[in-house]
Structure 1
Amino acid sequence: MTPSDGLHGSSLPTPAEAIALQKELAGRVRLCPLPARVRVVAAADLSYLPSKELIAVVLAFSWPSLELLETAHVRRPVEFPYVPGLLSFRELPAVTAAFEKLRHRPDVLLCDGQGLAHPRRFGLACHVGLVLDLPTVGCAKKRLCGDHDPVGTEKGCRSVLTLQGDPVGYVYRSRTGVKPIYVSPGHKADLESSLDLVERCVRRYRIPEPLRLAHNTVTRLKKNAHSP
């Protein structure tokens, strides 16, 4: 697979072709428990620049201590148009390019975005995981689709997120009294092990620590990119 379109050569697909490709690739996503033996966990995040570029970062951490091992980032032009539901085609090339710079290959990659909890069940975490052949988990701040029962206000409360009656993730209260986060498996992951990993990554803040540090890193790089 190639990062540009996920499968068919180096040319960019049209939005209609991308939708068809998502439907095809969704059938290749493998749902299974995350690896029992994990030594390195990574987290990916990105940010858009006014120059029609984006910066993607991938941070690698030792597990379970979450000691930072290394940081990799790239700055690339945005080539695919903005189409809701097709953001992975804009973001995948940069995320995979940053990933390839890592010296420590992670056992699991956390993505700031959706996995299975996507209208075509093929969010960024699924796309990245399939291209890299790597276990991935999506963790998003907002719901993209699906339904769920009310989530209790206490830390640790959760509710299954369903799409057309099928479970696609969890709505999880990572801190008491704050908005929940949305956890869904990408590739080579399942609902229970994805939520378990995210729970174990939560420290003092709402966002799991690896993704929080990835966000802080890309925010700093974006600020420096604007500096004269």
Structure 2
Amino acid sequence: MIKLYATHSKMIPDPSQLSGLSEEDALKMQHTLAQKIVQSDQFTSIKTIAGTDVAYEKDGQEIVSAVVVMDASTLDVLEVATARDKISFPYIPGLFSFREIPPLLKAFKSLQHVPDLIVCDGQGIAHPRRFGLASHLGVLLDRPTIGCGKTRLCGEHDDCDDERGDFAHLIDNDQIIGAALRTQKNVKPVYVSVGHRISLPTAIDWILKLTPRYRLPETTRKADQAVNAIMNNREIMFS
């Protein structure tokens, strides 16, 4: 049973409850929580969007996380929360979220804004067990989430055309698990998938809204800039 604590009228899982799990326990939890994923739009309006990112310290012992909350209309940054945590789960392909979720939850705990939508630099259901980081975070927080990865984890897709907005469905075992989406003309696609409480067409629309100039969504770019600043002991500056 995962204990919860209240923050800003929302319930966030206690990060310590996800630390120190065995591989077997993590797989069981992954299977159980994957059954809770909702692949339809379950929200009224999106006014704020959060981006997440993590990075590992060179010593391999600690992980730094950042959550950047932005205005959904203007893409202005409203708030930044960061956290640093000891790595408490081994490097096991397919279970990376168990390493990265605890420090992200610590960052979410300190937010004053509760984001209406979360975009993760990683996968949602485009995962061998249909439960990547975006789905894991979305189910735990019960918030709409989108996975937007730089690379493909599983599945195959046809070539998508070269214009911005062109996409090809990502298919695994005859199931549509996401899309390879061209966010800018003649650049490599990103891989978009449902995290939780959102449909794939809506997820694609939002990623396009979040990529007015660059290949990666502004949520990911800003969260990455925040993490890099913390890692290098610099003031957080956005570009």
Q: TM-score, normalised by structure 1?
A: 0.93
Q: Which one of 46, 58, 71 corresponds to residue 67 of structure 2?
A: 58
Deviations 1:57-87 (A, max 9, x none): 0001112111110100001110100000000
Distance 1:189 1:99 in 2: 20
Percent of residue pairs bearing the same amino acid type? 38
Partner letter of residue 52 of structure 2? A
Distance 2:212 2:18 in 1: 41
Q: Secondary structure at the match of 1:183?
A: strand
Q: Is 1:204 the counterpart of 2:204 in the alignment?
A: no
Q: Which runs of 5+ in 1 are unaligned?
A: none
CA RMSD of aligned residues (A): 1.5
Distance 1:86 1:213 in 2: 25
Distance 2:205 2:152 in 1: 19
Aligned to 2:40: 32
Change (3 A) 1:206 1:10: closer
* Counterparts of residues 94-109 of structure 1 (less than 5 Å): 94-109=103-118
Change (3 A) 1:15 1:4: farther
Deviation at 1:17, TM superposition (A): 2.1
Aligned to 2:25: 17
Deviations 1:59-118 (A, max 9, x none): 011121111101000011101000000000000001111011110100001111000100
Q: Which runs of 5+ in 2 are unaligned?
A: 3-12, 235-239
- 1:155–1:173 contact (8 Å) kept in structure 2: yes
Aligned to 1:49: 57
- 2:123–2:149 contact (8 Å) kept in structure 1: yes
Q: Secondary structure at the match of 1:185?
A: strand
Runs (4 or more) in structure 1 with deviation over 4 Å come to none
Q: Which one of 91, 102, 114 corresponds to residue 93 of structure 1?
A: 102
Deviation at 1:39, TM superposition (A): 1.1
Partner letter of residue 223 of structure 1? N
Aligned to 1:215: 224
Distance 2:106 2:198 in 1: 22
Deviation at 1:10, TM superposition (A): 5.8
Q: What count of residue pairs does the alignment treat as equivalent?
A: 222
Q: Secondary structure at the match of 2:233?
A: helix
* Counterparts of residues 1-228 of structure 1 (less than 5 Å): 1=2, 2=13, 4=15, 9=17, 12-33=20-41, 35-51=43-59, 52-224=61-233
Partner letter of residue 17 of structure 1? D
Distance 1:132 1:26 in 2: 14
Deviation at 1:34, TM superposition (A): 5.1
Distance 1:68 1:95 in 2: 18
